[in-house]
Structure formats: structure tokens, C-alpha cells
Amino acid sequence: MTSPIAPDLPATGRMPVKPRAGVWRRLIKRPLALIGLVIVAVVVAGAILAPWLTGYDPNEQMFDGLTLEGAPLPPNASFWLGTDLLGRDLLTRILFGARTSLIIGIVANGVALVIGTLVGVTAGYFRGWIGSALMRFTDLMMAFPALLLAICLAAVLQPSLWIVAMVIALVNWVQTARVIYTETSSLAEREFIDAERTIGASAPRILFRHILPHLLPTIIVWGTLGISTTVLLEATLSYLGIGVQPPTASWGNIIFENQTYFQAAPWLVFFPGAAILALALAFNLIGDALRDILDPTQRGRE
């Protein structure tokens, strides 16, 4: 075309990029995401290898774990992170507690996310009476104090780690559902959804191939934010005696057991707190990077 008017050639002069050049490889190329991955790997490894990493038993109350007056020991050579009120090694408890907290943070949160997404997407796409019913139910759940509900559920069911995870999931899906609902209903109005319907796409196809991918960023953000919330909710439940049963360690119940002695023995709150923070931050960093990598419209702008 020799016409002086710009022929409608590619807007960008770039050659087609090789598609999906490995999500994993693009993830580890980002320094922040790499830090997140390393932290998660360390926590997971610590949880799995806990029995081999420390010489103590998490529930053993050691005679030399307390001062003569009965006060817990600050970090020292034999107890690296100090001991708790009952003379147990804090490092060991944090390592074993990681098992509980990871299960709660990933499983409970994951289930909550799935429930929330399903409810939100269904209500947002189909609207009508199904949508209204689902959303009114969500509002009801939101208005109901989450803690009270969790206490009721936990009291009815036998307390165990998995039950606690389910209870947390049943309480925590509400916010996700609300956000996903709003986003889905605005997506459903977009023209490309109409375009899909004119070529005969079925509702499941539109939902899974065309709406869900657009919700990924939101789901990822809520998923990573939810981890710290669920870990703390588990701690609350444990504190009230309906969560993970003592003496099983979890990061949350370590904090709650010791919070009253914060001024006298700050390490007892500081170390498990730091662990929760690091894990939540790590997932946030990974989530952020994933969100950008999975968005094709960001390609070439990295």
C-alpha cells in the first residue's frame, strides 16, 4: 500500500511474542515475587521438616525452660527463640504451628474463596431471583457477627483442625462473594459478552472462559489478603477454646496464650506475629506478580 494515509498496520511494531513464555519463569524473574516464593518455601519446609529441625518436642514442658521464679526464658543459646510460660521451646512450637497455620491459611482460605467466587459469579451473571436470593443470603451472613457464627458452628461440631478450617471457610466467603458479584455484574454488561452470545456460546462457556479470567486479579488479591485474616481468626477461635485444641501449637494460639505477658516477655508475641506477617506478605508479593503476569494486556509493559 503506497497511499500516504496510514495503512492500518500493527499498532505496535513488535514481532509476535512467543505465547505464555512460562508463567513460572516469568515469576522468578521478578525480585519481589522471588522473595515471596523463598519465604513460602522456607515456611513449608519448616513445617514439613519440623521434627528433624529441632531436638525438642513441641509440647514438652522443660524444667530448664523456666527461671527459678517460673518466668519464661528470653532467646538464648539453647532455646534460640526463648521459651513460653510453660517452659516449652518457642522455635519448636512455631515450626510445628506452621503446619496448623498453613492448613488454615491455605485450605480454609481456599475453600472460602471458591464458595465466594461461585456464589458471586452465579448471582452476578444470572441475576433474577437466583441472584437476589444468593445476595440477600450473603448480606444476611455479613450482618451476622462472624465470630458468633463461628462459635456456634464450632460448638455444634467436634473441634478438630479440619472442622476449624471448614468453620473459617463458611464464615469468610462472604466478602469475596460481594466483591465478585459486583465485578461480575459489570463484566456481564460488557459488549464482548453479548458478542459471545451471538456466536452461540453457552452460559458455562461464557462464565468459565470469558468471565472467570477477568476475575482472576480480584480473586488473587482477596486470596492473599485472606491468609492473614484466616490465620488470626483461627487464633481467636483457639483462644476461646473452640479452635485447635491445646496443646497443639498454631501461630495464632501462641500469640493468644501469651499476649497478656507482652511487656514481660515480648518475644513470645513478636516471633509468631512476625511469622504470620512474613507469610501473608509473601503470598501478597506472589499474588501481585501473578496478577500482572496472567494479564495479557500487560504484555510488553513489564
Partner 1 sequence: MSKGAGNTRTGAAGPAASTTAGAVLEISGLTVGVRGEDGERPVVSDLSLTLARGETLCIAGESGSGKSMTALAIMQLLPQPAARISSGKIRLRDMHRGDIDLAVLDERRMRRIRGDRIAMIFQEPMTSLNPVLSIGRQLVESIEAHTDLSRAEARRRAIEALKAVRISEAESRLKQFPHELSGGMRQRVMIAMALALKPDVLIADEPTTALDVTVQGEVLELLRDLQREHGTSIILITHDMGVVAEMADRVVIMRHGRMVEEGTATDIFARPQADYTRELLAAVPRIGTGVGRQKSAEAEMRGSVAVVNDLHVRFDLRGGFFGRVNRRVHAVEGVSFSIAPHETLALVGESGCGKSTTAKALAGLVPYRGDIVIGGCNLAGLGRVERKAVRRDVQMIFQDPYASLDPRMRVGDLVAEPLLIHGIASKEERSQRVAALFERVGLSADQMELYPHEFSGGQRQRICIARALALRPKLIIADESVSALDVSVQARVLDLLKELQREFGIAYLFISHDMAVVENISDRVAVMYLGQIVEMGTRDQVFSNPRHPYTKRLIEAVPVPDPAKRRPRFARLDQEIPSPTRKIGEELPKLALRDVGNGHLVAVS
70, 145, 200, 204: residue in contact with partner 1 (rule CB under 8 A) = 200
Q: Confirm or reject binding of residue 203 to partner 1 (CB under 8 A).
A: no
Task: Name which of 69 and 302 has its Cβ closer to partner 1.
Answer: 302
194, 245, 259, 262: residue in contact with partner 1 (rule CB under 8 A) = 194
Phi and psi for 66 in degrees, rounded to 5? -125, 155
Cell numbers placing 23: 508463567
Closest distance of CB 294 from partner 1, Å? 9
Q: Confirm or reject binding of residue 16 to partner 1 (CB under 8 A).
A: yes
80, 144, 192, 262: residue in contact with partner 1 (rule CB under 8 A) = 192
Stretch that binds partner 1, among 74-82, 170-178, 202-210, 247-255 (CB under 8 A): 202-210
Q: d(Cα 123, Cα 121) in Å, to the nearest integer?
A: 6
In the chain, which ranges are continuous DSSP H helix? Answer: 23-28, 31-48, 50-53, 90-102, 109-126, 128-143, 146-156, 161-188, 191-198, 203-205, 212-239, 251-258, 267-293
Q: Confirm or reject binding of residue 196 to partner 1 (CB under 8 A).
A: yes
Task: Name which of 14 and 25 has its Cβ closer to partner 1.
Answer: 14
Which positions from 141 to 180 touch partner 1 by CB under 8 A, shown as an x/- string?
----------------------------------------
Q: d(Cα 268, Cα 63) in Å, to the nearest integer?
A: 18
Tell me, letter by letter, the H, E, C secondary structure of 241-289.
Answer: CCCCCCCCCCHHHHHHHHHHHCCCCCHHHHHHHHHHHHHHHHHHHHHHH
Residues constituting the chain? 302
Q: Confirm or reject binding of residue 9 to partner 1 (CB under 8 A).
A: yes
Return residues touching partner 1 (CB under 8 A): 3-6, 8-12, 14, 16-17, 19, 190-192, 194-202, 205, 209-210, 213-214, 295-297, 299-301
